[in-house]
Amino acid sequence: MNVPLTLARYAVRMNEERSMDGEIFASEPVTAVEAIDRVLDAAASARASDVHVDPREGDVLVRFRIDGQVETVGILPKRLHEEMIARIKLLSGARTDIHAVPQDGRFMADLCGEHYNIRVSFMPTYRGENVVARLLPARSSDHSSFASLGFTPEHVSVITRAMKAQTGLILATGPTGSGKTTTLRVCMGLKAAEPISVMTLEDPVEYEVPGVRHVHTRRSHGVSFADGLRAALRQDPDVIMVGEIRDEETARTAVHTALTGNLVFSTMHTVSALETILRLRDMGIEPYLLAATIRLIIGQRLVRRICMECGGETSDRKVACVACRGSGYAGRTVIAEVCEADSGFRERVALGEPMPLLWEYAVSRGFRPMSDDAGEKIDWGMTTATEVMRAMSA
């Protein structure tokens, strides 16, 4: 649904007219439409990835997620809440007469001269419906290569070599918000440039890649990743990306798909790259099947970059650097570890060797843990030790 929004170029003043509850808008919006326009335009200006509209007892709290951190940016009057919910539901194609169950929707808008896909989630709470909107730039040239994400030349070399395989399993791992999907999106873009058939199974689809068939699997409709993967095999794909391996059924289906002639990409929630092997074993995947299919495991986190404008030296928020809004950070980069499964590694996986022995072998073959990559980026002045500790404790 494409609904052009007329934006008045309002901005949220981050450091003026503070209240006990946080920061407020420079002037109170008169209508719900005006409030939505202000919030979305301010979010795009601040490079926010998500907008939270949280109803409270007497007002509505507006928060932005910027570089992974949630910041309070404004307070709106309670009288606008229901009208805002109705307006956003209308834009996103959600049901305006349903308030007691969660809903999802999406719409498109031009913000700050750029086209955005906006994905919206509605959740009923004690004080009213909560809304979270994810802002997805339709044209995201910043995420067009592994180098642009922050992977080192050494990492890029290993990843691209593994991607030349015609079969097998390539996994991106890490906690929620660590950039796994973005990494696989770059993988899909590179594979789509080849004369092959590429398909993804996602819940939901966030970014579209030219030349890739994107499928939205809906667990709420009884279609899981495993169901979608079995159906996708009848579509003659060469490469399949599965949004996430969450359970034994999906893991087993992905492994058997990789065994029967497809290159499969997916994500998993694990603490480190090598612990992915342990997690798959715990899911019930036999060691010999893992050994036959694993090609590459990428472990990653996102850390905030030191602001290039002020060098991270901003200390007085009242005279804050515009680029980083006084935080000392602007933008993010990846810290990563990349484990390529060579024949010796796969042999040890097949034997079910414990994690310390797998780690010892991987290091002997050139594997460098994430802490090494993080240390280098601290030394290069890209980020700070405090930021790395925060990210790696997740």
Please report the pLDDT score of residue 10 as a whole number. Answer: 31
Q: What is each CA distance from 289 to 105, 152, 255, 257, 286, in whole angstroms? A: 39, 31, 7, 11, 5
Pair 123, 101: CB distance under 8 Å:
no
CA distance 129 to 123: 5
Closest CA to 206 of 116, 131, 269: 116
CA distance 119 to 132: 8
Taking residue 261's Cβ as centre, other Cβ atoms within 10 Å add up to 11
Give me the CATH topology for the region 141-392.
Answer: Rossmann fold (3.40.50)
Q: Does domain 32-137 have CATH number 3.30.450.90?
A: yes
Quick: pLDDT tens for 40-89.
999 999 899 999 999 999 999 999 999 999 999 989 999 999 999 999 99
Residue type at 193 in one-letter notation: A
Q: Please determine, for residue 216, whether its predicted confidence score (pLDDT) is greater than 60.
A: yes
CA distance 39 to 35: 6
Please report the pLDDT score of residue 179 as a whole number. Answer: 93
- Which residue intervals of the chain bear CATH 3.40.50.300? 141-392
Q: Please determine, for residue 238, whether its predicted confidence score (pLDDT) is greater than 90.
A: yes
Quick: pLDDT tens for 266-297.
999 999 999 999 999 999 999 999 999 999 99
pLDDT bin (cut points 50, 70, 90) of residue 347 is very high
Region of residue 350 (phi > 0: left; psi between -120 and 50: alpha; otherwise: beta): alpha
Pair 284, 252: CB distance under 8 Å:
yes
Quick: pLDDT tens for 351-371.
999 999 999 999 999 999 999
- Mean pLDDT, residues 207-226 taken together: 82
For residue 205, how many C-alpha atoms fall within 13 Å in the half-sphere facing its CB? 14
- Which residue intervals of the chain bear CATH 3.30.450.90? 32-137
Paired with 129 in beta bridges are 124
This prediction has a pTM of 0.85
